[in-house]
Structure 1
Amino acid sequence: MTDTATLSGKKIIVTGAARGIGASAARALTAAGARVCGLDVSVAAAGAPEVRDAGRLTFDLCDVSSRTSATAAINRAVEEMGGLDVLIHVAGVQRYTPAEAITDEEWDLVVGVNAKGTMIANQAAFPHLKARGGRIVNFASAAGAMGLRGCAHYAASKGAVLAWTRTIAQEWGRYGVSVNAVAPGMWTPMYDTTRAGMSPEQLEAHDRGMAMMIPLGGRLGDPDADMAPVLVFLASDASRFITGQTLAVDGGLMMVR
């Protein structure tokens, strides 16, 4: 019997791979046997040895909100790896601003990276996947399905990712390209930044609320233990008959709410 869960020989691009879930994904996919190219807008990405592994993982700079930058970076990665089997599109930004105070500039930043960036990255990968099929995994959020107070632009952008993912899953399925979304509930550096901006009273109330809303453990998950194995599965041939789905990996947060 063929092991459909192996990633041996797979060529994978991971965006937003400098830290957090993206870095965790790059490590796990490489450990599972894949050749991985990590893309990130941060210049610090070039010095991220924690996600490198014996030459099977390389890095390049990429701004997913720029069609020129993203297309060039993806094309370079495909040429370097000798093909493409999977795109894991993690890159995204989040800002906390009351809905009435969101500026045009902040809206354009958040929606430009999260929604437009998803479109651009998917479109750039598509020609390389079209000929022989493959996988796309886009990162959405529970905010896109339920809304999130203080983050209306973030929620709107992730809602767009969900709708985009379902639509291209229908359009690109005839080429053997499966497209799914994940809605993670993970403890990341971005979440650390959010927590750092809270007063002790706010933090205590927040943690109490999370304990009530997340049935499994009462807190956000660990990217390495909880998210990375799911991405390995979605990148593998074991997921070949799954498309157009949104998989919440959040300890039950989305279910409860």
Structure 2
Amino acid sequence: MQLEGKRIIVTGAAQGMGATCVRAYVREGAAVAAIDVKDELGQQTASDATSTGPGTASYLHADVSDRAQVNAAFDEAVHRLGGLDVLVNVAGVQRARPAETFTDEDLDFLLGINLRGTVLTNQAAFSSMRDNRSGTILNFGSDAGLTAMPGLAAYSATKGAVMAWTRTIAAEWGPLGIRANSVIPAIQTPMTTSGASERDDIYSSVPLGGKLGDPELDFAPVMVFLAGDGARFITGQALAVNGGLGMVR
């Protein structure tokens, strides 16, 4: 087991890549706190993962855009886990619009969850990791934050900001033993399925197979590695798990 004894928080854990991370980490022996706002799905994800073991997962409700909810959920998670080694901040949302039509509500929604949620969850994890002088933070960027994807201007802006934030905290918090990286995924999820018709041309351009990656085969093993000790000297990076959709350098 690669993650035996690791204490991990996963946000956006109810479905998609978050649920994939919960299952993968529990399979590798970790204790996981799964956070989401979709309570029924989140509880089921945690319960199913625990039933197969050998690690464990429990569920907590929190809206990552709300500081009070984030701080309360993280306090409870750290109490349950007995500390915190890894934060995997998967929670994210997407809306497609022509650039000139994004409304204030669209911007509040996208910025609140994608960017503010990243900042708040990272800050909440910081105190536990600082006290231990070790920790791993994995945030989620996007190819949309690196290259032009028409229709996704506001989403792209949030993801570009997430990757910039992550590079900076890697530099600031590295001396405290905390490493931070961005994951850039092109993986099949409920979010990509819901927008598939608008972006089939993008997904078909993936060099490895002309399609999005498989969550369990292509994504989970990378997330296990990044959460583990084998990645202990990797920080401040944007790591693409995208079949070559975008070439990061």
* TM norm structure 1: 0.90
Name the CA distance, whole Å, in 2 between partners of 1:11 and 1:17. 15
Structure 1: state its 5+ residue gaps. none
Q: Does 1:107 align with 2:136?
A: no
Q: Post-superposition shift, 1:16?
A: 0.3
For residues 240-255 of structure 1, the aligned pairs below 5 Å read 240-255=232-247
Rounded Cα–Cα distance in structure 1 between residues aligned with 2:43 and 2:4? 25
Tell me the residue number matched to 2:151. 150
Q: Which residue of 1 aligns with 2:178?
A: 177
**What do residues 103-142 of structure 1 show as CA deviations (whole Å, max 9, x unaligned)?**
0111011011000100000000000101221100001101
Match in the other structure for 1:135: 136
> What residue number does 2:211 align with?
219
- Partner of 2:154, secondary structure, is helix
Aligned to 1:46: 43
Distance 1:140 1:234 in 2: 15
Computing the radius of gyration over CA atoms, which structure comes out larger, 1 or 2? 1
Equivalent pair of 1:26/1:38 in contact (CA under 8 Å): yes
Residue 247 of structure 1 deviates from its aligned partner by 0.4
Kindly report the root-mean-square deviation, in angstroms, between the aligned alpha carbons of the 2 structures. 1.6
2:22 is the alignment partner of 1:26:
yes
The one-letter code sitting in structure 1 at the alignment partner of 2:237 is Q
Deviation for aligned residue 1:194: 1.2
Q: Are 2:122 and 1:122 aligned?
A: yes
Within 1, Cα distance between the matches of 2:201 and 2:187? 17
Question: Aligned pairs, how many?
Answer: 243
For 1:147, what is the secondary structure of its paired residue?
coil
Unpaired stretches in structure 2, ≥5 consecutive residues: none
SS at match of 2:95: coil
Separation in 2, partners of 1:6, 1:141:
27
* Structure with bigger RCO (C-alpha 8 Å, 6+ apart): 1
In the alignment, residue 14 of structure 2 is paired with which amino acid? A
Q: TM-score, normalization: structure 2?
A: 0.93
8 Å contact from structure 1 (residues 16, 40) kept in 2: yes
1:162 equivalent in alignment to 2:153: no
What is the correspondence of 1:58-73 to structure 2 with a 5 Å cutoff?
Answer: 58-73=58-73
- Say if 2:49 and 2:56, in contact at 8 Å, map to a contact too: no
- Give, as a single letter, the amino acid of the residue that structure 1 aligns with 2:25: L
Give how far 1:207 is off. 4.0
